[in-house]
């Protein structure tokens, strides 16, 4: 009788288990996350889908991150934001909306249709459009609106651009409070024809840029009925390159016009509008690349003449930038030195050097500034260098003999480097610029050396007074800190603090008994920097209980215990935490218990910092191998080595 | 998902109830004038409970129980009486609710030393269970409904299987003793009461099969491993005569383990079921 049931029983169990299988498999597909999330500086509530591939979280499907805080709004002001769109395998794809708001409220509320309403005043940015394969596609609108009492007051900025796979197409329009800009592109994204910007307050004032397949031929400015035509590139240059219209492009145009003796402002009209738009697009691009990948650029294309730079020239340019920064830094330091500023009133030599420095800065360095900026932006290859260099010093290169008049009574006096003949300023090559800047740098160094003897003895006396005040202050705060934190620490840590306090006392005693002002200053300075470290370390040690709590809670994982139906914290990677708590921390304190010197303080400080950072990193990486190695290891130095090796290997 | 279960349950119930059992012709037992209580027997149970996670919402419930019963020659601890193998696939509906469905093979050993019948017979069960947990101050309260469909046979040679349904309800609390909540390194005390009713053609006057009153003391060693030990008093009607009550005192020793071998964990962002 039972036989027939037995026959059914096994197939039935198999049947039941088979029914569950597909559910298990599907469960590993796209997952959804809702909760707090941070992208860059944007922290808010997220709702997105993702899958995991080789331990990486890859966004796939709808994505939303937003934040608004009523409490903050009512209290002071609130920065709200909303990013909504979707990803396809980690690449932005689909309709997207970006909103950034900065609002204040008058805190007055009203109830409308069962809703509490609060009026806000502020600024809201909004970008809407579609993205295909990470690139803007179709029509993209970006608007910045001023909101007053929850109503649109006026538009501060608007742009409307049509893209096809990231390439801008047809016409575009941009406007701010002052001007409107319209223009058009060829199918390949190159600027073409007339791009005009109109002044909204005086419509007859226009600025038009005339492009021919991306090459800027002419700028026409109509102002109060007068027309000014500026010819730009003729098209006769040897070779051309296609680049994006961005801030660098405008700087190239500005520098090019400067070589023609025309000064041109980038803070209004067309360059201003396009640069503003670029900033907004960059903001979106940065955001998208923080979570997935995208290439969200306006990519307006233009052609510019190209003048190749060879490797010799490029190394010379690097040298010029380096020398220039060094020279400027030294000159500014000396010119702002308070001792020199006092000394120059009574000492004619000091006054002579001071004036020479002013002369060098004004005649050698300041004219070079645009050149260095172009070099830093990697845009020198788009400009004719000899033309550019020619107009840096409009009245010819400065003279090696730097002549200054001290006052109306005395004769003018000159400063020349001893080896001035070795410098050749002739010509308009990059090399000539390099010579000028090197001459300036060497002159400043020479003046600095001449002045230093006079400055230091004065400075020393001043410094000693300041130093003593500092040392006493530092010692006091050290003592206070130690007294306040002792109770929460274990005996080893307390002993370490006692030793640190002792070291500070001893050093101060030694300083006080020293008589030679020079060596006293040197010793004082050395213990001042040591006191800094002692303070930092003391802070670090008094923070240890907190640090330990942080590490403890970091190495917990929430586990659902089915028998208790309760979520419990489980300690994870125990070998690592044991090594940290039982080996490393006691070892660090032991070093301070043995004998404390400024050197050990520095060592322990860097060990503490590094290991704490490593503990944070080790929590997130796979540490199976490391944990195996730690099983037998008790030597703290070896453990630190294993930590570093493991993290370096993981970083690769 | 829920639909699947409904279909399976329906299938099982149909299976069970469509069975026609020929009851053995038996001599009728006279009910005594007053209820009679047998002397309590002592037993020792050593139980392991495995809860092995096999998916985001699924687990494999794997239990093995060793049950000893006193005999004439081995009082107190006794000799092995039953070995249980209880398995099921469980579905986690939420952190506080789960369901299981599976089968049991129980090996019954004849503890009657004077018996000349078979020494070992198997017993078969299909079981399903519905468990609900509720937080109560620092403690947790659990309700467990378990329904079993059971085929048993006696030790006598050629004895027929008899079919019974068991209806079990258990109320249990777990009260942490040295902590404000149930977490690792916590001692807890767990009082529990379970009533087991039975039905079936053979069950004439003895629907109350067992009432179990237990108190255990447990220790959560880690979130994945718990030990517990306790004492249970049980009583219930004899199947053959509803007027006679069996009694028992049982020492129970339990080990609970819940490994999770899945690869998808410690992945950010952490996702726990539906929070």
Q: Where is the domain boundary, A414, A444, A459?
A: A459
8 Å CB contact of A5 and B183: no
Question: Within a domain: residue A12?
Answer: no
pLDDT digit string (tens) for B125-175?
999 999 999 999 999 999 999 999 999 998 998 889 999 999 999 999 999
pLDDT digit string (tens) for A239-250?
888 888 888 888
Average pLDDT, chain A: 81
Query: Which residue among A8, A557, A568 sits closest to B15, beta carbon to beta carbon?
Result: A8
Query: Which residue among A16, A55, A570 sits closest to B184, beta carbon to beta carbon?
Result: A570
8 Å CB contact of A565 and B142: yes
What pLDDT does residue A22 have? 47
Q: Could you tell me the two tokens for A202? A: 């005086």
What pLDDT does residue A66 have? 83
pLDDT over threshold 60, residue A304 = yes
Confidence of residue B267 (pLDDT cuts 50, 70, 90): very low
Q: How many domains does chain A have?
A: 3
What pLDDT does residue B29 have? 62
Does A570 contact chain B (CB < 8 Å)?
A: yes
Which of A98-102, A320-324, A456-460, A555-559 has the lowest average pLDDT? A456-460
Say which residue, B70 or A419, is predicted with more confidence: B70
Q: How many CB pairs under 8 A join A and B?
A: 117
Instruction: Check whether residue A68 and residue A215 sit in a common domain.
Output: yes
Question: Within a domain: residue A479?
Answer: no
Helix axes A517-542, A430-485, angle to 10 degrees: 60
Instruction: Check whether residue A150 and residue A204 sit in a common domain.
Output: yes
Instruction: Check whether residue A580 and residue A608 sit in a common domain.
Output: yes
Instruction: Check whether residue A321 and residue A427 sit in a common domain.
Output: yes
Q: Could you tell me the two tokens for A62? A: 């709808």
Instruction: Check whether residue A646 and residue A615 sit in a common domain.
Output: yes
Distances (CA, A) of A151 to A101, A142, B93: 14, 18, 47
Which of A198-212, A577-591, B140-154 has the lowest average pLDDT? A198-212
Which residue stretches of A347-486 are H helix?
A: 348-360, 369-376, 385-390, 430-485
Instruction: Check whether residue A510 and residue A383 sit in a common domain.
Output: no
Kindly give, in sequence order, each residue whose CB lies less than 8 Å from that of residue B210, ignoring residues fewer than 6 positions away.
B194, B195, B196, B234, B235, B236
* CA–CA separation, A490 and A132 (whole Å): 60
What pLDDT does residue A24 have? 45
Q: Where is the domain boundary, A304, A322, A348?
A: A304
Task: Tell me the domain boundaries of chain B.
Answer: 36-257
**Most confident region among A109-123, A347-361, A502-516, A558-572 by mean pLDDT:** A558-572
The closest of A217, A253, A210 to A235, measured between CA atoms, is: A217
Contacts of A19 in chain B (CB under 8 A): 4, 8
- CATH T-level assignment (fold) for domain B36-257: Porin (2.40.160)
Contacts of A620 in chain B (CB under 8 A): 268
Contacts of A571 in chain B (CB under 8 A): 184
Average pLDDT, chain B: 86
Instruction: Check whether residue A507 and residue A376 sit in a common domain.
Output: no
Kindly provide the ipTM of the predicted complex, given to two decimals: 0.84
Instruction: Check whether residue A299 and residue A352 sit in a common domain.
Output: no
Distances (CA, A) of B231 to A11, B70, B161, B191: 39, 15, 32, 10
Contacts of A574 in chain B (CB under 8 A): none
Q: What burial letters (b/e) apply to B206-239, b meaning 16+ CB within 10 Å? A: beebbbbebebebbbeebbebebebebebbbbbb
Do B62 and B269 touch, CB atoms closer than 8 A?
no
What pLDDT does residue B19 have? 42
Confidence of residue B24 (pLDDT cuts 50, 70, 90): very low
* CA–CA separation, A578 and A476 (whole Å): 36
Q: Which domain holds residue A519?
A: 489-651
Instruction: Check whether residue A314 and residue A259 sit in a common domain.
Output: no
Instruction: Check whether residue A245 and residue A338 sit in a common domain.
Output: no
Does A225 contact chain B (CB < 8 Å)?
A: no
R_g (Cα) of chain B, nearest Å:
20
Chain position carrying tokens 């800009």: A181
**Most confident region among A147-161, A344-358, B57-71 by mean pLDDT:** B57-71
8 Å CB contact of B258 and A28: no
B171 CA to chain A: closest CA distance, Å? 14
Instruction: Check whether residue A222 and residue A264 sit in a common domain.
Output: yes
Helix axes A544-554, A517-542, angle to 10 degrees: 40
Mean pLDDT of the region A358-374: 83
pLDDT over threshold 80, residue A155 = yes
Instruction: Check whether residue A355 and residue A336 sit in a common domain.
Output: yes
* CA–CA separation, A541 and B27 (whole Å): 86
Local structure of B274: helix, strand or coil: coil
Confidence of residue A517 (pLDDT cuts 50, 70, 90): low
Cα B273 from chain centroid? Answer: 27
Do A335 and A353 touch, CB atoms closer than 8 A?
no
B183 CA to chain A: closest CA distance, Å? 5
């Amino acid at each position: 009788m039972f036989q027939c049931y037995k026959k059914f029983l096994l197939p039935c169990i198999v049947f039941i288990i088979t029914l569950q299988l597909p559910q298990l498999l599907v469960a590993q597909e796209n997952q959804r996350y809702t909760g707090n999330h941070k992208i860059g500086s944007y922290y808010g509530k997220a709702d997105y889908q993702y899958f995991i591939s080789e331990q990486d979280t890859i966004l796939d499907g709808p994505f939303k991150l937003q934040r608004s805080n009523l409490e903050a709004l009512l209290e002071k002001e609130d920065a709200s934001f909303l990013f909504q769109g979707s990803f396809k395998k980690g690449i932005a794809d689909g309709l997207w909306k970006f909103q950034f708001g900065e609002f204040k409220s008058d805190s007055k509320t009203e109830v409308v249709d069962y809703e509490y309403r609060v009026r806000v005043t502020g600024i809201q940015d909004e970008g809407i459009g579609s993205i295909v394969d990470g690139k803007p596609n179709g029509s993209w609108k970006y608007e910045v609106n001023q909101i007053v009492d929850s109503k649109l007051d006026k538009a501060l900025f608007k742009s409307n651009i049509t893209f096809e796979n990231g390439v801008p197409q047809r016409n575009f329009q941009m406007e701010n409070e002052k001007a409107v800009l319209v223009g058009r592109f060829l199918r390949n994204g190159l600027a073409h024809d007339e791009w005009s910007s109109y002044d909204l307050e005086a419509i007859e004032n226009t600025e038009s840029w005339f492009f021919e397949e991306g090459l800027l031929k002419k700028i026409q400015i109509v102002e109060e009925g007068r027309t000014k035509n500026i010819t730009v590139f003729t098209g006769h240059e040897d070779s051309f390159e296609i680049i994006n219209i961005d801030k660098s492009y405008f700087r190239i145009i500005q520098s090019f016009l400067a070589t023609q003796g025309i000064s041109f402002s980038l803070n209004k009209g067309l360059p201003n509008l396009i640069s503003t738009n670029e900033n907004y697009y960059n903001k979106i691009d940065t955001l998208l690349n923080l979570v997935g990948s995208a290439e969200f650029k306006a990519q307006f294309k233009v052609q510019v003449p190209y003048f190749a730079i060879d490797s010799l020239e490029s190394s010379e340019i690097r040298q010029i930038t380096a020398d220039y920064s060094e020279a400027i830094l030294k000159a500014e330091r000396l010119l702002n030195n308070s001792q020199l500023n006092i000394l120059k009133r009574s000492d004619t030599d000091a006054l002579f050097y001071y004036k020479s420095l002013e002369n060098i800065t004004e005649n050698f360095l300041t004219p070079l500034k645009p050149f260095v900026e172009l070099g830093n932006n990697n845009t020198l290859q788009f400009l004719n260098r000899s033309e550019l260099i020619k107009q840096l010093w409009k009245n010819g290169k400065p003279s090696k003999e730097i002549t200054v008049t001290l006052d109306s009574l005395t004769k003018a006096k000159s400063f020349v480097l001893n080896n001035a003949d070795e410098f050749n300023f002739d010509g308009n090559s990059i090399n000539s610029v390099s010579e000028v800047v090197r001459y300036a740098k060497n002159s400043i160094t020479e003046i600095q050396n001449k002045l230093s003897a006079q400055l230091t003895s004065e400075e020393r006396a001043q410094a000693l007074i300041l130093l003593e005040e500092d040392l006493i202050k530092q010692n006091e705060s050290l003592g206070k800190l130690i007294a306040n934190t002792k109770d929460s620490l274990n005996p080893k840590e307390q002993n370490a603090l006692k030793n640190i306090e002792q070291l500070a006392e001893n050093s101060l005693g030694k300083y006080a008994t020293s008589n030679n002002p020079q060596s006293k200053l040197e010793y004082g300075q050395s213990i001042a920097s040591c006191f800094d470290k002692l303070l930092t370390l003391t802070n670090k040690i008094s923070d240890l209980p907190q640090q330990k709590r942080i590490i403890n809670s970091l190495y917990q994982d929430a586990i659902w215990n089915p028998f208790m139906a309760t979520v419990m914290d489980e300690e994870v990677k125990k070998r690592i935490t044991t090594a940290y708590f039982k080996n490393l921390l006691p070892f660090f304190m032991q070093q301070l218990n043995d004998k404390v010197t400024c050197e050990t303080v520095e060592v322990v400080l860097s060990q503490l910092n590094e290991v704490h950072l490593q503990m944070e990193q080790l929590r997130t990486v796979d540490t199976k191998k490391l944990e195996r190695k730690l099983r037998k290891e008790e030597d703290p130095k070896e453990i630190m080595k294993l930590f570093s090796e493991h993290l370096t290997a993981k970083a690769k | 998902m829920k639909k699947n279960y409904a279909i399976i349950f329906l299938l099982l119930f149909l299976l069970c109830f469509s069975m026609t059992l020929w009851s053995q012709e038996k001599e009728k037992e006279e009910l005594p004038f007053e209820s009679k209580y047998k002397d309590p027997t002592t037993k020792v149970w050593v139980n392991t409970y495995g809860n092995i996670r096999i998916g985001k919402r699924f687990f494999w419930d794997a239990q093995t129980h060793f049950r000893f019963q006193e005999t004439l020659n081995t009082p107190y601890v006794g000799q092995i009486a039953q070995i249980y193998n209880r398995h099921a696939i469980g579905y986690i509906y939420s952190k506080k609710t789960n369901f299981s469905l599976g089968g049991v093979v129980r090996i019954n050993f004849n503890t009657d030393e004077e018996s000349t019948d078979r020494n070992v017979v198997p017993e078969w069960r299909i079981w399903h269970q519905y468990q609900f947990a509720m937080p109560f101050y620092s403690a947790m309260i659990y309700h467990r409904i378990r329904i079993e469909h059971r085929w048993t046979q006696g030790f006598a040679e050629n004895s027929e299987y008899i079919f019974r349904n068991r209806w079990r309800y258990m109320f249990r609390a777990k009260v942490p003793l040295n902590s404000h909540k149930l977490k690792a390194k916590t001692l807890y005390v767990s009082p529990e009461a379970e009533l087991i009713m039975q039905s079936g053609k053979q069950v004439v006057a003895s629907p109350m099969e067992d009432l179990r009153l237990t108190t255990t003391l447990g220790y959560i060693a880690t979130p994945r491993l718990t030990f517990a030990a306790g004492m249970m008093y049980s009583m219930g009607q004899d199947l053959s005569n509803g007027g006679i009550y069996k009694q028992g005192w049982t020492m129970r020793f339990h080990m609970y383990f819940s490994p999770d071998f899945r690869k998808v964990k410690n992945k950010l962002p952490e996702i726990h079921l539906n929070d």
